[in-house]
Amino acid sequence: MQAIRSIYKVENGKLVIELPASFQHTEVEVIILPAAAEEDVATLPNAIDRGSKAERLEKLASMSVWDEADEQAIVESQNLINQWKVVEF
């Protein structure tokens, strides 16, 4: 499923949304909600301090990534699975 989430400005009571070609001849669901201002979101009781964009990117970059040994282990496992024989009933 492809989803688009964007914030638009309403002009003269109208909203024009340009959609990608992949949405051609499909039914879509449109839900209109007023966008909360960033300061409003920060004052919500359950708001989570997610830090600045730079801090979030740094956290993302610090996450572990697969190295060649991890990739090789997955390839070997897939090769073993591909050798399994399907028993017919």
In DSSP notation, 26-84 reads --------PPPPHHHHHTSTT------HHHHHHHHHHS----HHHHHHHHHHHHHHHTP
The verdict on residue 70 lying in a domain is yes
Query: Mean pLDDT over residues 33-39, rounded?
Result: 73
Please report the pLDDT score of residue 50 as a whole number.
67
The yes-or-no verdict on residue 9 having pLDDT over 60 is yes
Q: How many domains does one find in the chain?
A: 1
pLDDT tier at 39 (50, 70, 90 boundaries)? low
- Whether 7 contacts 35, CB under 8 Å: yes
Please report the pLDDT score of residue 41 as a whole number.
54
The verdict on residue 16 lying in a domain is no
| Structural domain that includes position 65 | 21-82
The verdict on residue 38 lying in a domain is yes
pLDDT, mean over the chain: 80
pTM: 0.36
Please report the pLDDT score of residue 77 as a whole number.
92
